[in-house]
Chains A and B, each alone.
Chain A
Amino acid sequence: MIRFLLTKLLYLVPTFLGITLIAFGFVRVLPGDPVLLMAGERGLTPERHAELAAQLGFDRPMWAQYLEFLTRLLHGDLGNSLVTKKPVLAEFFALFPATLELAFVAIVIATVIGVPVGVLAAVKRGSWFDQVSMTAALVGFSMPIFWWGLLLIILFSGILQWTPVSGRISLLYFFPAQTGFMLIDSLLSGQKGAFSSALSHLILPSIVLATIPLAVIARQTRSAMLEVMGEDYVRTARAKGLPRARVVMVHALRNAMIPVITTIGLQVGVLMAGAILTETIFSWPGIGKWMIDSISRRDYPVVQSGLLLIAGLVMLVNLLVDLTYGLINPRIRHK
């Protein structure tokens, strides 16, 4: 297992270096003077320009700049935002819990609904339930989620007035962030109604973000189940007289879950891309909205580091998925 872990880690090194190269190169291939772009000052005198270039390291050879970039990165220094002047890393960690909370609730919704639907569709293959649920899954898979979010706002916020349109909690409530997760913080605050306000703000965005992963998980669970249901050991279990429910839940589902867990893990990239759209629609103050705002404000230090952090995050989760996979299935580990 240690050996498996180390090989996996070793494989990540070139990918990670590639990611840093892209983030590093990004500012340098932008049209315009990188010093102006990264310093964000207007009307520079030539002296000030030279000073800034030296300060930001743009006067040195490219490889030296890259080494400097890597060194800083390893020390946790990702530069400062041009707009807020605060360290990018601090901003990232301030906003990340909002995205994490949204993504976590979304993936829970997607798994809790998607897996049973997939199992049932496979067990009752060809039934009306199978057909309806798989059609729905294909519709969900094809959904432009930015439009889906707007539709839900029209229905639930506009016509029914059940849910608020934007933000994480009503402005009536104020309490210090302890965990950064609004559902937990609102409970800890002890203020009446705070938790239900946080929940009502979270429900629509998380449904929107869950839509595509839900469809993918349901489809994947169904096909994985169908595959294992045809295996000899399932037939043997049935033949020796075990009840159908036990065969499905214990023998089949456990083996079908391996590819499903991988699928769930691989949704992280989908969730991050989805978060950009979902957070924009619902004004959810997370890193998706932070990235898109920074791109339109030309806050390049933020875009550069955000890109790096998000890709690093996706890579890390993929590694965890790989490791889980190796843990469950020894054949993968020893290949």
Chain B
Amino acid sequence: MTDTTVKLSDAEIRAQMLRDFWYHFKQNKGAVAGLFVFILLVIAAVLAPLLAPHDPTEQFRDALLVPPVWAENGRAGFWLGTDAVGRDMLSRLIYGAQYSLFIGVVVVSIALSGGIFVGMIAGYFGGWIDNLIMRVMDVILAFPSLLLALVLVAILGPGLTNAMIAIAIVYQPHFARLARAAVMGEKEREYVTAARVAGAGNLRLMFKTILPNCLAPLIVQATLSFSSAVLDSAALGFLGMGAQPPASEWGTMLAEAREFILRAWWVVTFPGLAILISVLAINLMGDGLRDALDPKLKKS
């Protein structure tokens, strides 16, 4: 009987925490707008086959570089016009959302889990392990991220998977530093000592006892890294080192559009706009998350 009461209040506490979070999050109008745009992006990515009017790789040979529908010579079937080989821009942009979200999720997952793992070990054990790990992280941070990612891609070979791995490696030190700092702040607290006395092993203490109490700054960093990953992978695509044509990744689309820059503004404008809007939406969300989750980091 007592058990059920305890469980119930646990759930209640969680619900209350969520309500608190949402209350603080929705104070920030920009964050709510960002969340809304982000949800639209997810819908576009998931329902791309239903939403896109055409196949993203289908080439309409009779419709090369058709301007958007509202411009002179625009055609009804191609709302945002077509590119140089007659592919529908709107369909490619919608399918491009799949790439961006996929890249963001994969990069953040790898960087977050890798960073938490090494950061927790460094912070928890301290001493030479800490020194070694953090010096390696310092070395990675000494390189401009895009440059290091470029060189890693040169080693691994151009392509989307390698670009994602490279970006994740470059981002990982940020998570490691945060996780380390958080663990060092928490590990001497009483609840940790209590768990240790109760017989919890190192792994359990690290990942089950301490980690849940260090999540706030990591979540905020994950959001920021998500938007940076979208930007950096688009930059790699633009430089020919990321997703390869004919992929409808937005950066790759921009690279293909470059030579038509003074003839067909729409092939250049829309993919970039898509990148900007997604990155902006995620950054807005990140600001709101930071305010709601981590009062210490809150911008006054």
Contact = CB atoms under 8 A, between A and B. Distances in A.
Interface of A: 14-15, 18-19, 21-22, 26, 29-31, 135, 138-139, 141-144, 146-148, 150-151, 153-154, 157-158, 223, 226-227, 230, 269-270, 272-273, 276-277, 280, 291-292, 295-296, 303, 307, 310-311, 314-315, 318
Given A138-B283, A295-B241, 8 more contacts: A143-B276, A144-B254, A147-B276, A223-B299, A272-B144, A307-B143, A314-B143, A318-B142
CB-based closest 5 A-B pairs:
A147-B272, A18-B139, A273-B146, A273-B144, A142-B279
B280 A139 contact: yes
Interface stretch (B181-189, B190-198, B203-211, B230-238): B230-238
A296 B151 CA distance: 10
B224 to A, nearest CB: 10
A21 B138 CA distance: 13
A310 B283 contact: no
Contacts of A31: 155, 157
Interface string B247-269: 00001001000100110010011
Contacts of B144: 269-270, 272-273, 276, 310, 314
B150 to A, nearest CB: 6
Contacts of B142: 15, 18-19, 311, 314-315, 318
If over half of A's interface residues share one DSSP class (helix, strand or loop), that class is named, otherwise mixed; here it is: helix
Contacts of A273: 144-147
A292 B238 contact: no
Given A227-B300, A311-B143, A141 B235 contact: no
A24 B248 CA distance: 36
B275 interface: yes
Contact of A303 (B138, B154, B227, B251): B154
A144 B139 contact: no
23 contacts: A14-B138, A15-B142, A19-B142, A26-B151, A142-B283, A146-B235, A146-B254, A147-B275, A153-B261, A154-B265, A230-B300, A269-B144, A270-B144, A273-B146, A277-B146, A277-B239, A295-B150, A295-B241, A307-B147, A307-B151, A310-B144, A311-B142, A311-B143
Given A18-B138, A150-B254, A273-B147, A144 B279 contact: yes
B139 to A, nearest CB: 3
B65 interface: no
Contacts, number: 131
B240 interface: yes
If over half of B's interface residues share one DSSP class (helix, strand or loop), that class is named, otherwise mixed; here it is: helix
A144 B265 contact: no
Interface of B: 30, 135-136, 138-139, 142-148, 150-151, 154-155, 157, 227, 231, 234-235, 238-241, 251, 254, 258, 261-262, 265, 268-269, 271-272, 275-276, 279-280, 283-284, 287, 299-300
A230 B138 CA distance: 34
Contacts of B283: 138, 141-142
A290 to B, nearest CB: 12
B131 to A, nearest CB: 9
Nearest to A219: B299
Nearest to B149: A273
Contacts of B139: 15, 18-19, 21-22
Contacts of A18: 135-136, 138-139, 142
Contacts of A30: 154-155
Given A146-B238, A277-B235, A138 B280 contact: yes
A154 B299 contact: no
B279 A292 contact: no
